[in-house]
Chain A
Amino acid sequence: MADMKVYFDHNATTPIHPEVKKEMIAAMEMFGNPSSMHAYGREARANVEDARRKVADFIGAQEREIIFVGSGSEANNTVLSLFVCGTSQCIAGSKMRSTIITTKIEHPCVLETSECLAHRGVKVKYLDVDRYGKIDLDQLAGMLGDDVGLVSVMMANNEIGTLQDIETISGMVHASGAFMHTDAVQAVGKVPVDVRKLGVDFLTISAHKIYGPKGVGALFVKKGIPYCPLIRGGHQELGRRAGTENTLGILGLGKAVEMRMLEMPEEEERLLLLKQAMKTGIEERIEDIHFNGHPTEALASTLNVSFTGVEGEAILLYLDFEGIAVSTGSACASGSLDPSHVLLATGVDAELAHGSIRFSMGRESTMQEVDYLLEVLPPIIQRIRNMSTAYIKGGLHAATR
Chain B
Amino acid sequence: MLQPGEWAYSDKLKEHFMNPKNILQGENTDDFDGVGMEGNLQCGDQMMVVIKVDKAHDIITDCQWKTYGCASAIASTSVLSEMVKGRTLDAAFHISPKEVALELGGLPDHKIHCSVLGDKALRAAINNYYTRNGEEDKVKKEQSKVICQCMSITDHDIEDAVLEGARTYFELQERTKCGTVCGQCKDETEVLLEKFKHIHFGA
Contacts and interface: CB of A to CB of B under 8 A. Distances in A.
A317 B71 CA distance: 8
Contact of B44 (A317, A354, A393, A398): A354
Interface in A271-287: none
B29 A389 contact: no
Given A314-B74, A354-B44, A389-B47, A337 B68 contact: no
B203 interface: no
Given A317-B8, A335-B110, A387 B67 contact: yes
B128 interface: no
Interface string A356-393: 00000000000000000000000000000011111111
B24 interface: yes
A313 B23 contact: no
A337 B70 contact: no
Contacts, number: 84
A321 B47 CA distance: 24
A393 B30 CA distance: 10
Interface in B105-125: 110-111, 113-114
Interface of B: 8, 17-18, 20, 23-25, 27-29, 37, 41-48, 65-74, 110-111, 113-114, 164-165
B72 to A, nearest CB: 7
A392 B114 contact: no
B44 A330 contact: yes
A314 B46 CA distance: 14
B47 A350 contact: no
Contacts of B17: 314, 317
Given A314-B74, A331-B44, A332-B44, A388 B68 contact: yes
B26 to A, nearest CB: 9
Nearest to A331: B44
A391 B27 contact: yes
B71 A393 contact: no
Nearest to B17: A317
A359 to B, nearest CB: 19
A311 to B, nearest CB: 5
Interface of A: 309-311, 313-314, 317, 321, 330-333, 335, 337, 339, 349-351, 354, 386-393, 395-396, 398
A396 B68 CA distance: 11
B23 A386 contact: yes
21 contacts: A309-B41, A310-B68, A311-B70, A311-B73, A314-B70, A314-B71, A314-B74, A317-B17, A321-B18, A330-B70, A337-B44, A337-B113, A337-B165, A350-B42, A350-B43, A387-B23, A389-B41, A392-B24, A392-B29, A392-B66, A393-B29
Contacts of A331: 44
B68 A389 contact: yes
A326 to B, nearest CB: 14
Contacts of B114: 332
A341 B93 CA distance: 37
Contacts of A310: 68
A350 B46 CA distance: 13
Contacts of A391: 27
Contacts of A335: 110
Contacts of B74: 314, 387
Contacts of B24: 392
A7 to B, nearest CB: 13
Given A311-B44, A331-B44, A389 B67 contact: yes
A351 B45 CA distance: 9
A395 B26 CA distance: 12
A389 B27 CA distance: 9
A337 B164 contact: yes
A331 B111 CA distance: 11
Contact of B37 (A354, A386, A387, A389): A389
B4 to A, nearest CB: 10
Q: Ordered nearest first, which 4 A-B pairs have the shortest CB separation? A: A332-B70, A313-B70, A351-B41, A393-B27
A389 B70 contact: no
Contacts of A337: 43-44, 113, 164-165
Contacts of A339: 44
Nearest to A396: B41
Nearest to A335: B110
